[in-house]
Amino acid sequence: MNRKDRRAAAKTGVTPGPTPPAPLAALFGRALQLHQAGSLVEAEQAYRQILTLQPNHADALNLLGVAVHQMGRHDEAIALIRRAIALHGRNAHYHGNLGQVLRIAGRLDEAEASYRRALTLQSDYLDVLMGLGVLMQGRDRPAEAIAAYRKALALKPDLAEAHNNLGNALENQGKLAEAIASYDRAVALRPQDPGMIYNLASALIDNGEVVRALGLAQRGMQIAKTPQIETLLGNCVKEMRGDGSNAELRDLIARALSEPWGRPQDFAAAAIEIAKSEQHYGAADATSLDEAADDNVLQALLENVTIGDLDLERFLTRMRAGLLDRAAEAADARILRFACALACQCFINDYVYDRSEAEWGQVEGLRDAVAGALACGEPVVPLSLAVIASYLPLQSLPSAKRLLDQPWPEPIGALLTIQLREPARERELAAAMPCLTPIEDRVSQEVRAQYEENPYPRWVKAAPPASATTVDAYLAKTFPRAAVRPLGKGSTIDLLIAGCGTGQHSIETAQLFAGARVLAIDLSRASLAYAKRQSEARGLFGIDYAQADILELGALGRSFDVIESAGVLHHLADPFSGWRVLLGLLRPGGLMRLAFYSELARRDVVAAREFIASRGFGSGADDIRRARQEIIAAGPAAPFASIIKTSDFYGTSACRDLLFHVQEHRMTLPEIAGFLAAEKLRLIGLEIDKRVASLYRARFPRDEAMTDLESWHQFEMENPATFRGMYQFWVQKEA
């Protein structure tokens, strides 16, 4: 999704037209007063009273239309305003109001015609110029949008909305410096507007002015702590690089991870770089336990995200062994908090760190001692509990539930929630999870077994909810040049997430398309329970989770407006058969979002899988740990060496998904193109970052919509790592 959530701040106010003659003037004045005060129901009643007395009262028809539009009844509004126009066709205000309603209703050709008719009648109609600018911008006609905004500014030079929207249109044309100047003027005129601050700061980030953008983002946070401003701060932090001794920078990255200001994984690379620039985590003069305990960035990493860095893994493995040696000691608050954070990290990464036989023998002795103390009701040293939890989950302890009945220091209490309370809730949810279909396919059964043992991904915190939108608006913004047929249903759509995993995607989708009726299915009850527990924690009770096999969904008896299946179908025995099943559930004109592995981008994965097979490793946790150490020891010359830089290499469940999966297919763009043609699906667009989009446009300027898969295949052949994060794209079914 495009991170620039541009706010088109066009005015939508209305003008009543000339004052009506007596004897209805007083009643009309009262209706208008109610309308302007926001009392829409009372205003509607007053307008209807006028129309009862005088059915052809054009102003009452016009403003009644505006009122019912403001209450969401767009079709009724259009009919009422058109009745007013039929009575007085040369009233610019009527045409302007009709244009505004038509634009909001998504009837864009009619809206443009109404706007232009209004301007023919009154060339200095400010609200219509602003509305026309927004319309042209939304239709990817930035030059016409710019012209409309400049005319509006000629009429009212201090109109902040016009400067802001002009900046949007200029940026869409690639005129970043001019856009920044327009945003600057908008913010100067309205310095307390978070949306305009967001636009300016986002443009500054793209222009490399990260420090200035950060200052604006911090100012925006003081004005209003909105998800949009939190995302902006996160975008700034992701781009920040500098000396780890900068306390302010360290505090910002720690907050970005902990609050969070986006998906914590998005900040991990920057946080690791900042942490390592100050401490000697990978050097011979290793950082001490005391120094690590005082490192707020390391603490935030440990608690919130799987740490994908080999130097830090080795350092943390040493720290864990050091804590094991002093497990029986009374630790101060700093050391205890660090030990609990390390235990949290080990739980998140499913205990992927290596350990010696002697070390494991120590752990078993400590576990037995703590279990004995629990059985006898004797006190347990808090540090020993944290140390055990960094080697194995506390729920594996006999009588572990007794731990919940005792008072503990706050870090231990939080650790007990992560390792005991939340897994217990997941077991309850898994037992009660509805099952919609049988799971009889052999590959489906094997995939289910894998994710029952290793739910993936194990995530801690979700990104702040994005500003809610509709699927139509999201696609219009993300793919402005695409020929998308709008669903025209607003937020009341039926949406299927086919393969929701542990719920990160289903939660973000439900928040983005608020009001959608979401069914999220998966093969694994353990994954579904994780997803539902995380949804409950965020107050999202409207997502229906259920166990089901995609291959059996044809008998479900339901259909959907939108189906999302990201990173799922390539784990079926035949991905295209599964895709066809989903197409059978998709309504005519419906939309699909899909993601597949790229054959070219996963050459190192293929090489690693071949190496693992040649060494005879299984898919159990011990084998995964041993295989990882051999992959690391193979060195940088190995054909799979780049795997070590992949975040999924740093967790047991994640590594199993990456390198040990029971079923994996990889696609090519020509294969996908052939399927789209055979099934008569229209490609709307690929979800790619701005850097890749810029390179592609420079290479293939004639493909303005960026939907020519032959060109994309050529681009990928020249840049094999382009789709390392999978092919991710939207398609539309024939109406």
Reported as a single tens digit per residue, the pLDDT across 607-618 is 999 999 999 999
Instruction: In whole angstroms, give the CA distance from residue 53 to residue 432.
Output: 61
Same domain, 486 and 557: yes
Q: Are residues 319 and 305 in the same domain?
A: yes
CB hemisphere CA count around 641 (13 angstroms): 7
Query: Under a CB-based contact definition with an 8 Å cutoff, are residues 256 and 289 in contact?
Result: no
Token couple for 422 = 């939340």
Tell me, yes or no, whether 15 lies in a domain. Answer: no
Q: What is the pLDDT of residue 243?
A: 66
72 sits in the region (left: phi over 0; alpha: psi -120 to 50; else beta) called: left
User: How many domains is the chain built from?
Assistant: 4
Beta bridge partners of 591: 562, 732
Q: Of 428, 456, 473, which residue constitutes the final position of a domain?
A: 428
N-term to C-term CA, the chain: 25
Are 128 and 5 a contacting pair, CB within 8 Å?
A: no
Are residues 531 and 574 both part of a single domain? Answer: yes
The vertex-366 CA angle with 361 and 370, nearest 5°, equals 150
What pLDDT, on a 0 to 100 scale, did the predictor assign at position 1? 35
Same domain, 197 and 55: yes
Cα–Cα distance measured from residue 625 to residue 643, given in angstroms and rounded to the nearest whole number: 15
The runs of H, that is alpha helices, within 409-562 are 410-416, 422-432, 442-453, 471-478, 504-512, 525-537
Write out residues in the chain with pLDDT < 50, as ranges: 1-14, 20-21
**Do residues 631 and 593 both lie within one domain?**
no
Pick from 707, 702, 704, 717: nearest CA to 686: 707
Phi then psi dihedrals of residue 259, to 5 deg: -75, -35
Say if 3 falls within a structural domain. Answer: no
Q: What angle do CA 118, 120, 122 make, to 5 degrees?
A: 65
Write the CATH number for 519.
3.40.50.150
pLDDT of residue 476: 84
Domain shared by 475 and 575, yes or no: yes
What residues are paired with 522 via a beta bridge? Answer: 547
Structure tokens at 192: 């307390």
Specify whether 545 is located in the same domain as 446.
Answer: yes
362 membership: H or E segment, kind and range? helix 357-376
Residue 11 lies in a domain: no
According to DSSP, the β-strands at 727-733 and 681-686 are antiparallel
CATH number of residue 93's parent domain? 1.25.40.10
d(C-alpha 656, C-alpha 562), whole Å: 30
Bridge partners, 140 (sequence order): none
Looking at residue 172, its amino acid is N
Quote the tokens at residue 130.
């602003």
DSSP per-residue codes, 642-682? GGGGSGGGGSHHHHHHHHS-S----B-HHHHHHHHHHTTEE
Nearest CA to 319 out of 296, 294, 286, 344 is that of: 286
H-type alpha helices, 417-502: 422-432, 442-453, 471-478
Contacts of 402 (CB under 8 A, 6+ apart): 374
Given this model, what pLDDT does residue 10 score?
A: 37
Report how far residue 607's alpha carbon sits from residue 43's, in angstroms, rounded to the nearest whole number.
70
Give 224-276 pLDDT, tens digit per residue: 888 788 888 888 888 877 666 788 888 989 999 999 988 999 999 999 998 88
- Judgement on whether residues 117 and 145 belong to the same structural domain of the protein: yes
What average pLDDT does the chain have? Answer: 92
Same domain, 416 and 480: no
Among residues 186, 220, 254, the one where a domain terminates is 220
d(CA 331, CA 673): 61
Regarding whether 719 and 588 lie in a shared domain, the answer is: yes
Would you say 263 and 463 are in contact if contact means Cβ atoms under 8 Å apart? yes
Fill in the amino acid letter for 329: E
The reply to whether 19 falls in a domain is no
Q: What is the pLDDT of residues 452-472, one digit of tens each?
A: 999 999 999 988 887 889 999
**pTM: predicted TM-score of the whole model, two decimal places:** 0.83
**Boundary of a domain, candidates 659, 683, 699:** 659
Query: DSSP 3-state assignment of 124?
Result: coil
What distance in Å separates the CA atoms of residue 567 and residue 564, rounded to the nearest whole number?
10
- What's at 417, amino acid-wise? T
Is the previous residue joined to 260 through a cis bond, with omega within 30 degrees of 0?
A: yes
pLDDT tens figures, 124-147: 999 999 999 999 988 878 899 999
Does 124 lie in the same domain as 255? no
The range of the structural domain enclosing residue 621 comes to 604-659
Asked whether residue 584 falls in the same domain as residue 474, the answer is: yes
Helix, strand, coil abundance in the chain, percent, nearest 5? 60, 5, 35
pLDDT for position 588: 96
